[in-house]
Structures are given as structure tokens and as C-alpha cells.
Amino acid sequence: MKKIAKAAFFHIILWKNAADIFILKGIGNNNINKIIEKEDEKVLLKRSYTYWSKEHNETKQITIEEILNNGVNQLKSYMNIILKGKSIDYYSSGIFDKRIKITESNPNKLKGFVILVIGFRRILWRSVEEMVSDYSYEKI
């Protein structure tokens, strides 16, 4: 396995309104970037994030850790689809995009990363286990 497939990136941007994230903890938003920049990662992951759900027409609350874990799970799902190569038809799993040339090849490693940006000064990331692909992917 000499080649490494281009990394698959799934970005989760967690900046809608600083007050949405931390107002529940009583911090306010004046010094929020300074606080989260220095905050211990374990404490930061336990913080609540409140957002408006259009689907449920109400506010919902989730921890930053849940958002990060959901991103990892979604990326794993995407990577498993990529590993299937080109889809046979519209209804089968795989890549169904004429802009990507997919050819069988020697085994390649597919790597993925979830990047979570919180405010302006804090970035959390997680890598996903490497997966072996029997295809190479090229943007046309």
C-alpha cells in the first residue's frame, strides 16, 4: 500500500452565534473566545450548544462532544460509500458523479478528519481510522 488516497474532509463549523453556545452557562459573549481558547478540552466538550431546529420548529440542545461524535460517524458513513467505488446505477451505493474518475488500482489508504471550529480561536479535530480502498479517485 504505497499510495494514499486524498483525505476526505467533513467540516463542522460551530459558529452561528457565540451567545447560543454559552449563554446557558452565564458566561456571556464578551470574553468567550479567550475563555474557550484556554479551556480544557474535556470541559469544552461537555459544553452545551443550543440551536434552532427548523425540522422541529423549536430550540434543541446538544453538547459539543455529541456534535463532534456525530461528525465522526457521518464521515465514516461517507467513507464506506466511497470505498464501494463507482455506483452501478442511481439506486446503488457508491460514487455517482461524472466529475470523478474511479479506476481499480492497488490498495490505497483512505483517511478522513473531522474539524470542528469553535469561535475564532479554538479548533478540535478527530481522525477516522484508515480504510483500504481498491480504487483510485481523480477529479476530472
Task: Read off the pLDDT of residues 3-26 as tens digits, 9 standing for 90 and up.
Answer: 444 333 333 333 333 333 333 344
Decide: 24 and 48 in contact? Cβ < 8 Å.
yes
| pLDDT score recorded for residue 36 | 86
* CA dist list (Å): 82 to 6, 23, 49, 77: 12, 40, 31, 9
Confidence at residue 25, expressed as pLDDT on a 0 to 100 scale = 44
pLDDT in tens, 63-117: 999 999 999 999 999 999 999 999 988 888 999 888 999 999 999 899 999 999 8
Look at residue 104 in the predicted model and tell me its pLDDT. Answer: 92
Instruction: Say how far residue 90 (Cα) sits from the centre of its chain.
Output: 25
The whole model's pTM is what? 0.73
Domain segments of the chain as ranges: 8-139
- Cα angle 63-65-67, degrees, rounded to a multiple of 5: 75
pLDDT digits (tens, 9 = 90+) for 20-64: 333 334 455 557 778 888 899 999 999 988 888 888 888 889 999
